[in-house]
Amino acid sequence: MIYGIAKMSDQQLDEKAEEWAAEMFTHTKDEKADINSVMLYSPLLQLIANEQTGRFVKKIYAITLIISVLALVVSITSVLISVS
């Protein structure tokens, strides 16, 4: 289950995080979290947060790379036009 996090979609990760966050509060009578369930689910929630952050960084890296390539193409084109 935990190793399948990398294969989940963003929506599935959000749903799983909500499920685990709600699970921390289901074992108590008053709406306080039990320390054992917090210790159990906190690393899993951090794992989801890390996965989502990693995906965001990859998207930003790809966008940055595309913009850099386009800037390089524009620069080369302007040099060629100015030389001719």
Is this structure's pTM higher than 0.85? no
pLDDT tens digits, 10-51: 999 999 999 988 888 776 667 777 788 889 889 999 999 999
The answer to whether residue 78 scores a pLDDT higher than 90 is yes
Structural domains of the chain, count: 1
Q: How far apart are CA 33 and CA 26, in angstroms?
A: 8
What's the CA gap between 81 and 75, in Å, rounded? 10
* Structural domain that includes position 22: 2-83
Residue 24: CA count within 13 A, CB half-sphere: 17
- Angular region, 74: left φ>0, alpha ψ -120 to 50, beta rest: alpha
- Cα 19 to Cα 23: distance, rounded to the nearest angstrom: 6
